[in-house]
Each structure stands twice: as structure tokens, then as C-alpha cells.
Amino acid sequence: MKMKWIIAALILSLSVSSVYAISSITVVHRTFNAMLAGNQQVSGDISAVDQGFFPILADEAPRGDSIATAVVFPSTPNTGIGANTALKAGDWGFTVFIQPTASTPVSTTFKVVLQVSRSCSCPGLVSPLVVYIATGATVDPTTSISTSFDIGPELPTPVAYLVTIFPA
């Protein structure tokens, strides 16, 4: 008889713990709105792949915001070189991964321009966001630069963007 009470108490205890655990679950809803359009226009024998939109987690000073401060492709393969507009925590960002090819000209500065739609109609694009990157005396097609742009505190939806890269 005593064993039945112990089993019953154990079952009751587990039930109360389960109900408490289930009642303390927080549900977070996220809504995804479709992209209206995306386009890249690249010249100068350089490769670009957009990495998309992301929430900016920390402030970051601009790098490569003028021809004089262009971020140069490293001479050896890397994963950490970046050029960016001023980034503000809490805003939305957009990243483009840029890599030279074997045919990319040496000692050349490139202008990387991002325009993002602020409304449903294209071309309702914001003022261009610009960073500068450059090749050095040699070009290694295994190197890369990640370019990031701060597009502001709100991500327009649906969204359209245009990335343009060309010799400056």
C-alpha cells in the first residue's frame, strides 16, 4: 500500500513539473516578407555574391569610405578583411562578398554601391551607400573582402536592391 502512495506522489510531482515547464515556454513569431527584386552589376573582372540582410549587433566605424581609405585585398587568403559604411547596432545591414579573379587588374580601386528600395515601387531606391576596395600590386583570386552597408533601422518590405561594382 505504501508503494502505491510513493508511485502516485512521484507521478503527481512529474505532472506538476511538466505543466510548469510547459507554461513557461515563450513563443516568438517572425514574419518573412518576400524580396521584390535583387540585381548586381559588376565590371572589372571581379566576382560578387550577396550575403543578404542581417541585424547589426554592434557599432562599427566606417572602413573604405573614400578612395584614399579603400580597403585593399590582402596578399594571402583570409576570412576577416572587410569594408563597410558606419554600422549602428540595431539597424539592418546588407553584405556583399567580393573576390578578385585571375583577370582582375592590379593597383585598381573599385567603387561598391548599394541602393535599397524604401517602398514597394522600383525604382524607389535610397541614396547610394558607397564603400571603396582596391587591388594591390598583385592579385590573388583566393582572397576576399566582405563589404557591409547600414541601411537603417527598418527593413523595407517588400524589398528591392541593386549592387553596382566598377573601377573608380
Q: How far is CA 89 from the centre of its chain?
A: 13
Q: What does 15-33 look like in DSSP terms, one character per residue?
A: HHHHHHHHHT---------
- Confidence band (pLDDT; 50, 70, 90) for 156? confident
Closest CA to 95 of 159, 60, 127, 52: 52
What pLDDT score was predicted for residue 34? 45
pLDDT in tens, 56-65: 999 999 999 9
pTM exceeding 0.85:
no
What pLDDT score was predicted for residue 93? 92
My answer on whether omega of the bond before 123 falls inside 30° of 0, hence cis, is yes
- Confidence band (pLDDT; 50, 70, 90) for 129? very high
Q: Cell 527584386 belongs to which residue?
A: 37
- Confidence band (pLDDT; 50, 70, 90) for 41? low
- Confidence band (pLDDT; 50, 70, 90) for 24? very low
- Domain coordinates in residue numbering, the chain: 34-167
Burial 84-99 (b: 16+ CB within 10 A, else e): bbebeeebbbbbbebb
- Confidence band (pLDDT; 50, 70, 90) for 38? low
The average confidence (pLDDT) of the chain is: 78
Cβ proximity of 119 and 166 under 8 Å: no
- Confidence band (pLDDT; 50, 70, 90) for 118? low
